[in-house]
Amino acid sequence: MRVLLINPKSRLPIDVRTQPSLGLAYIGAVSRQRGDEPRVYDGDVETIPLADVVREWRPHVVGITANTTQIKSAWRAAAEVKAVDAAIPVVLGGPHPSVLPAESVARPEVDIVVRGEGEETWRELCDVLQDAGCRVQDAGYRMQDAGYRMQDAGYRMQDAEQTHASCIVHRASLEKVCGISYSDAAGQVVHNPDRPPIKDLDTLPFADYSLFRMSAYTNLQPTLDTVDGAKSFSIMTSRGCPYRCSYCSQSIYPQRYRVRSPEHVVAEWRHLVRDLGAQEIGVLDDSFNIQRKRVHAICDLLIAEGLNHVPWIMINGIRANLADRDLLAHMKAAGCKRTAFGVESGNQAILDSINKHLTLEQIRAAFRAAKEVGLETIGFFIIGLPGETEETMEETIRFAIELDPLVANFSMLTPFPGTRVHQQIQEGGGRLLVDDWEDYAFFEGKARYEMGTVTAELQERKWHEAYRRFYMRPRRILQTLTRRQTWRDVPRVARMALRLVAPG
Ligand code: B12
Ligand code: SF4
């Protein structure tokens, strides 16, 4: 089958970073294993209109990934596909439709939602669709339903309607596929049972990067590094997280923590370095250091195999309570260049209230140890957690300055659907200030909710202040000016600086 996988265009300040979607790289790898012909259309880097690709290549099935900020863009992409041929099955997956499947199934341009981890579900679903001749049952899709203007899509209505005649059938066979949601013949949303998590992650294929035009992407952290040609790749060595922080979307997945064996991880690492020429590698794990022995084993293998000359960085925070000096020193020896820690707050009571299971002292010790062994550090901080006051926000800013990481990343709390903070806000008489999923990106300087002492004015003021006070210290300015990277990409650094420290 011809399988078109789409990463819908994001509305982030995308000059910050563009990287291939690892989710699609896995789904594409499964398609290849099935003997299909997968192709990725990445809306963030593609210049050809999606509709042209669909019209010329005629995919048998389309899969689209979406997090919350991308979901509307995913629906637009689905509508563009349907406008060319309404009978092509359109399947959505990723964090947002996994949490709110009914919302997407209700869209006329979406046929099926895959919830949660996608590989096994995709394999089975493709079997079913292939048997069914890959045409959507009733193709009841009409352009008007989608709520998009025809001019935007650039197609004539007749094109979409003509395809209806050729539609073949088969929703009944979907009943057997766990982990999907779709509408039945009566238009009722059906949620098939959840799919059990993949037990042995070593059975998964490696992410398939051959599906991406790698030269179109940036570095992993382009404001900090520039490798000419940016041969940057990502790897995920474990999935899920045993912690349940109240603001984190990861914490709501039924699938908890599972790991790949060090040997399997390093086999993929070898492939990235030796076959694909990786010049930097980003580790995307939600919490890489949950099992310290496993991290030590990975580091041993990287050193033994001589793979430690390629720098790697932690994209997500590792757990400060589990990051002892030995571990950090071993990571450094194995090629790790930079690590991040999720700090969130400088106030212990607030940390406890979000279920962080961390103490300020553990955080201090972890930053100290990381710096001592020569690792660069990133700290993630949140302004506006439920129950905060101006004083607790102040403590967070002061704590960031005390820890003094290379990068301090402050975000205003964004209550993603399904998280406990989202529920707290609804139940605690709070008010969401955003009703458009596209406004859920972090970088926009706008508060997302108000509740009690946490007003929008306070969050926005302290957020701007946090950036100004952290980065506008004389020592910090000097450090930025003396960093080679600052001068290698002046326009990007200047754009970022303006966006973050300009008064709100
Ligand atoms: C790397 C990363 C990024 C990178 C993205 C690089 C890229 N192109 O992928 C960057 C830094 C740019 C980024 C930005 C943001 N991110 Co981010 N990011 C991640 C992270 C750490 C890893 C993503 C990943 O590769 N996962 C591994 C793959 C294998 O998992 P997956 O993508 O979920 O795919 C699996 C399933 O979802 C499913 N699936 C996914 N797509 C599809 C499609 C089909 C057809 C099928 C069948 C199945 C399927 O199958 C896949 C394999 O099992 C996740 C955390 C996490 N654990 O996933 C957060 C995460 C996805 N990000 C999140 C957020 C909030 C954001 C931002 C909104 C933050 C911001 N700055 O404003 C932005 C939005 C970006 C955008 N594009 O609009 C949230 C999403 C919450 C939500 N409700 O959407 C997450 C879950 C973090 C969290 N714990 O809260 N992010
Ligand atoms: S430790 Fe990190 S990944 Fe795990 S639930 Fe907390 S914020 Fe999410």
- pLDDT above 90: residue 141: no
- Cα 154 to chain centroid distance, Å, stands at 30
- What CATH topology corresponds to 220-501? pyruvate-formate lyase- activating enzyme (3.80.30)
In this structure, what token pair is assigned to residue 407?
A: 């990068």
Give 67 Cα–ligand 1 centroid separation in angstroms. Answer: 6
- pLDDT above 70: residue 155: no
In this structure, what token pair is assigned to residue 412?
A: 């205003």
Do 347 and 381 meet the contact criterion of CB atoms below 8 Å apart?
no
125 lines ligand 1 (CB under 6 A): no
343 lines ligand 1 (CB under 6 A): no
10 lines ligand 1 (CB under 6 A): yes
The closest residue, in CA terms, to atom 8 on ligand 2 is 248
Residues 6+ apart with CB under 8 A from 313: 220, 221, 280, 281, 282, 283, 336, 337, 338, 339
Which tens digit of pLDDT belongs to each residue from 85-114?
999 999 999 999 999 999 999 999 999 999
313 lines ligand 1 (CB under 6 A): no
The closest residue, in CA terms, to atom 2 on ligand 1 is 284
- pLDDT above 80: residue 157: no
Average pLDDT for the chain: 88
Give 473 Cα–ligand 2 centroid separation in angstroms. Answer: 30
- For residue 121, which ligand has an atom nearest its CA? 1
Q: Cα–Cα distance between 407 and 220 in angstroms, integer? A: 14
| Closest C-alpha among 353, 343, 341, 358 to residue 420 | 353
Report helix, strand or coil for 94: coil
Q: What is the pLDDT of residue 228?
A: 58
Give 61 Cα–ligand 1 centroid separation in angstroms. Answer: 22
- pLDDT above 70: residue 303: yes
The closest residue, in CA terms, to atom 45 on ligand 1 is 63
Best substitution site from 60, 67, 75 to test ligand 1's pocket, by max atoms within 8 Å of Cβ? Answer: 67
Q: Which atom of ligand 1 is nearest to the CA of 25?
A: 29
Least confidently predicted of 203-217, 233-247, 394-408, 431-445: 431-445
Which tens digit of pLDDT belongs to each residue from 341-364?
999 999 999 999 999 999 999 999
Which tens digit of pLDDT belongs to each residue from 192-243?
999 999 999 999 999 999 999 998 898 888 778 876 566 999 999 999 999 9
342 lines ligand 2 (CB under 6 A): yes
Q: What is the pLDDT of residue 137?
A: 54
Q: What is the pTM of this model?
A: 0.92
Best substitution site from 237, 243, 316, 341 to test ligand 2's pocket, by max atoms within 8 Å of Cβ? Answer: 243
Residue 445 confidence class, pLDDT cut points 50, 70, 90: confident
Residue 402 confidence class, pLDDT cut points 50, 70, 90: very high
| CATH superfamily, domain at 2-191 | Response regulator (3.40.50.2300)
Q: What is the pLDDT of residue 149?
A: 36
Phi and psi at residue 221, in whole multiples of 5°? -135, 80
Q: What is the pLDDT of residue 267?
A: 98
The closest residue, in CA terms, to atom 6 on ligand 2 is 245
Residue 499 confidence class, pLDDT cut points 50, 70, 90: low
- pLDDT above 70: residue 167: no
430-444: average pLDDT: 85
The closest residue, in CA terms, to atom 21 on ligand 1 is 284
Q: What is the pLDDT of residue 147?
A: 40
- pLDDT above 70: residue 274: yes
208 lines ligand 1 (CB under 6 A): no
Residue 152 confidence class, pLDDT cut points 50, 70, 90: very low
Task: Locate the domains of the chain by residue range.
Answer: 2-191, 220-501
Q: What is the pLDDT of residue 479?
A: 81
Q: Where are the alpha helices (DSSP H) in 340-417?
A: 348-353, 360-372, 390-403
Q: Say how many CA atoms lie within 13 Å of 339 toward its Cβ.
A: 34
143-147, 166-170, 222-226, 417-421 — which one is most confidently predicted on average? 417-421
Give 476 Cα–ligand 1 centroid separation in angstroms. Answer: 31
Q: Write out the DSSP string of 3-49.
A: EEEEEPPP-S-GGG-----HHHHHHHHHHHHHT-EEEEEETTT--S-
Residue 158 confidence class, pLDDT cut points 50, 70, 90: very low
Q: Which atom of ligand 1 is nearest to the CA of 12?
A: 78
Q: Which atom of ligand 1 is nearest to the CA of 67?
A: 84
Q: Which residue has the higher pLDDT, 436 or 180?
A: 180
Q: Which atom of ligand 2 is nearest to the CA of 286?
A: 3
pLDDT more than 90, % of the chain: 74
Q: Cα–Cα distance between 498 and 482 in angstroms, integer? A: 19
In this structure, what token pair is assigned to residue 341?
A: 């820690």
Q: What is the pLDDT of residue 478?
A: 85
280 strand-pairing partners:
232
416-439: average pLDDT: 92
Best substitution site from 22, 233, 250 to test ligand 1's pocket, by max atoms within 8 Å of Cβ? Answer: 22
Other CB atoms within 10 A of residue 152 CB: 11
Q: What is the pLDDT of residue 452?
A: 94
Q: What is the pLDDT of residue 480?
A: 78
